[in-house]
Homo-oligomer: A and B are copies of this chain.
Amino acid sequence: MIRQYAVIGLGSFGLRVLQKLAEATDQIIIVDRDKAVVESCKELAAKSYITDAINPEALTRILPEGIDVSIVDVGGNLEAAIVITNTLKKLGVRQIIVRADSDERGEILKIVGATTIIYPAREAAEKLVPLLVSPTLFRFMPISPSLVLAEVKVPERYVGLTLIEANFRQARGINVVALRKEDGDEYIYFEPKYRMQADDVLLCAGSEEDVTGFTGTRVTGRKIGIGNMLKGIFGRPRFRKETSSEKKK
């Protein structure tokens, strides 16, 4: 059974979904109120509509029966997202995937019928921030409450050891999946006898605690000693904690 898809709202996320989805299927309907946007990508869709989907009658008329998956991205317009989501629910669409920018909005959209909320900004931030606070962490992917995957530069003290000697799994709770060179893209599956080199980057799986412990950085959890940390760096008068208002020139 071939699935049918509707992309409703071609915001930056909806547009990317359409482009990627079109690589795998032709069963896509697109709906957006902006004519220029619809025209620019109608070749990717089986059927395209220039319509404001916030109108339930119009959306109902457009969508064929048997749409399996809908993706809703109407930018920051919460009212439109709510009305569209609810219309899709009433039409019996099984998967209603809606993009949201904040947890609060996501919760509201779930109540009115969204089956999945996608938070592009949150996901990107969660991947990025650990890399910003650790110089030896190259990538960070939360997978489940108990598992993250991360690219970690081989800690100095393990350089020259084999994976058997390093014994990461027993000693550090770290499962090494593959490795690559720091300046390369290509991953290799290593032999247990391989001796790690200083420019190796390990793709590791483990709990967040074990992985960040392995890199020597604490990524999450509450900060400690705010006052003392601030004193060191933000000690000059103009760095006192306060909000300043700069006037535009």
Contact = CB atoms under 8 A, between A and B. Distances in A.
Contacts of A175: 177-178, 189
Nearest to A129: B20
Given A2-B233, A233-B4, A234-B46, A249 B123 contact: no
A191 interface: no
Stoichiometry, as copies per complex, reads: 2
B187 A147 contact: yes
B220 A23 contact: yes
Given A133-B25, A219-B23, A233-B2, A121 B246 contact: no
Contact of A203 (B39, B132, B205): B205
Nearest to A222: B23
A12 interface: yes
Interface residues of A, number: 102
Interface stretch (A85-93, A157-165, A192-200, A223-231): A223-231
A180 interface: yes
B146 A149 contact: no
A57 interface: yes
A200 B12 CA distance: 35
B221 A144 contact: no
Interface in A99-156: 99, 101-102, 118-129, 132-133, 139, 141, 143-147, 149, 151
B24 A147 contact: no
19 contacts: A3-B132, A16-B125, A22-B223, A24-B133, A24-B219, A24-B220, A24-B223, A25-B133, A26-B229, A27-B233, A48-B243, A62-B246, A71-B128, A95-B132, A147-B178, A147-B203, A149-B177, A175-B177, A178-B205
Interface of A: 2-5, 11-13, 15-17, 19-27, 35, 38-39, 42, 46-52, 55, 57-58, 61-62, 64, 69, 71, 95, 97, 99, 101-102, 118-129, 132-133, 139, 141, 143-147, 149, 151, 169, 175, 177-178, 180, 185-187, 189, 203, 205, 217-223, 226, 229-230, 232-234, 236, 238-246, 248-249
